[in-house]
Structure 1
Amino acid sequence: MDCAAVPSLISDFVNTFVDFSVSGGIFLPPEPESVKNSTGPLRTVFPQPVRLVAVGDIHGDLPKAKTALRLAGLIGADDRWSGATATVVQVGDIFDRGGDEIKLLYFFERLRREAAKAGGTVITMNGNHEIMNVDADFRFVARQGVKEFEDWGFWQCVGNGMKRMCLGIGSDLVFRDLLDGVPDEIPGIPPEFLNGIRARIAALRPNGLISSRFLSKNLTVVVVGDSVFAHGGLLEKHVVYGLERLNEEVRDWIRGLSEEVKNRLVRGSDSVVWLRSFSNKLVKDGDCSILEHVLETIPGARRMIMGHTIQEDGISSACGGRAIRIDVGMSKLCGDRFPEVLEIDEKSELKVLTSNPLYIKRQYDAIQKEGLGSLVPDQRPRQVEVNA
């Protein structure tokens, strides 16, 4: 072994040790060379897969996330990828409400790498809560979430200390001062939460250790086959702006490569991650016309799939099946409802997979509800109960 490589090996060992400590015991497999340190354009359009699974808002609840993925057979009893060549899209809002935010980031990163090796694809997206946290807007952070980041900050400091003790490890292998630029005191934050909030700012600010490592891989809009995904929804102005351009500008902001990202993209009630026009319980006819026009401007698009707004009766549709709403409020601290996922096969047929034991009654009731019977022409979504 070349002795010159020893410092780098020690640094890698320390990084793995810290990752294991903060992730709940996850060892990440090697990252595919094709995505390692990638600075090229984010892929925005994917072909129709043999099997596509869409997962709604998770909000810091790792057990519910695992239940949702098991419904679709995407993970096994060992929590490892078992979805073969399937594509899964998680529409954002991993952050806030719960206490498993960092663990979820590592969990989905491991699945992303395992899926890629098996020929599958895992796509994670930015929701409004990801954007809020990069903006240091912590209004919806749970106490457990503050504690998780406090622990993360502790282990990062331990790792840096271990590296500094080893002769030959240069400053390039030691993370910069974790709290550099973070205020020592923050008005309105009680002393018992200060360390956790400061660590959260350090981790999630643009070019933060977590934002640059994990969130910069998220898409803000993605087209998979004939389905368009956005956390809140898309308007014509977003399509005209350019979907790939939108993804790249949000990514560059998260990486700290640009000082700001345009408000109309990710902030405000009509932005991509905040829009509710197509996910409200009652969608106006005018909004359905807008949605139809938007889909017509995206080649091959038949439907828009979104999260953001809790559907109290489970996954639902509107506008004749052109709007599919998949936020079912599954997180224990944000609805605590039964997990459900949407499955789309290679023929573009849709099916809801649910853990709700009352699915039979819901299937009967669905016949009475606008949209649910027309996710695709002449077909109702089949409610399938799955034990997970």
Structure 2
Amino acid sequence: MIRWILFALLFLILTIYGFQAIRTVTKQTWVYYLFFAVAIVVVGNFIFQFTSGNEGRVLTPSKSFAFGFLLTFMAFNIVLIPFLFGEDIIRGIIGLYDKVVVRKDEFHLPSRRKFVSQVALGLAAIPFGSLLYGMYKGKYNFRVLNYTLHFDDLPEAFHGYRITQISDIHSGSFDDKSKIEYAIDLINEQASDVLLFTGDMVNNKASEMLHWKDTFGRLKAKDGKFSVLGNHDYGDYVDWNSPEAKHQNLEDLKAIQKEIGFDLLLNESRYLEKDGQRLALVGVENWGKGGFKKAGDLTKAASEIQSDDFKILMSHDPSHWEAKVLNDPYHYHLTLSGHTHGMQFGIEIPGWIKWSPAKWRYKHWAGIYTELNQHINVNRGFGYLGYPGRVGIWPEITVIELKKGPKNA
């Protein structure tokens, strides 16, 4: 109850500041009514979605949209605060100076106040419009990102071998089947040799995937489809009736992955063979720093392979790479991860800028990183979670081509 009261007070303060800017710019009363009507609908729907129903902590699409609209409205008002608050301070200082030193009885600077409000509203419109676009279009703005990685010890038969990686499907969030069908076709068009999925098939429950089995069952790759589990796949964020129900949910998800055609690696390995040569594919269960599940067992997963094998590791959380993988006695040439989603918000202009709030939480949050002659690719995610959209950090299909020899050869 206290949390809701504090939330209501914060929302009220932000809304009042937003209204002050609008009132300064226009005298049209219908605009005032519209502004407050939007505020009431947004906060009312948010409170209703998160206090009613029996889903518990399950983040349904309706809850996601309620959160998305709340985030959009609050972002609009938050941008206004530094301008208006700063203007209030300046006006107060100047007004006090004029009254005490110059001893004027009245102090008005309406033209400057209006100008500041106009500038603030113009800037606030940027995140407001961007977040709405992210919910309407951005979440299905699928991008194919191509990388070429060179290795001196890559088996000759795998020169030119192509890997498609997808991650973080989060099927419980989808609301447009035609867009997902398009993305599946886009994945298949890459015609890669192998397809690797690096975890988080669902938000919470295996049942979320039932509607999408046929769609994702169309995925194909010549040398097979392999997967690992992500932190959301274990059902840890749901209040289950019993431990047995939670266990059964995980077993159901494993069965669904098998029905779709994925070979799920649970701290296991497989060999991919070509022309009498092979590379080792290793898959661990989720291992993440902080409060995330640490079920991944790298030693167990690699128990059936050789130390001199060329190795590709699938591990959902990129924090595993720095904490455990880089200094493991076995040299993992390439690690594939996801998990971060790039926080579904940021700015990326290739060759110029790559920024997201995700960088404050994860050292390796999107794209290719290289340390100790080992590579990791952190996929930005196929789906979305929480905020039902993406801004600047688009849903990703990664295609990695392996090359033998030095990069400049």
Q: Determine if the TM-score, normalized by the shorter chain, exceeds 0.5.
A: no
The bucket for the TM-score relative to the shorter chain is under 0.3
TM-score with structure 2 length normalisation? 0.25
Q: Which has the higher contact order (CA 8 A, sep 6+)?
A: 2
Query: Larger strand proportion, structure 1 or 2?
Result: 2
Query: Larger helix proportion, structure 1 or 2?
Result: 2
Greater Rg by CA:
2
TM-score with structure 1 length normalisation? 0.26
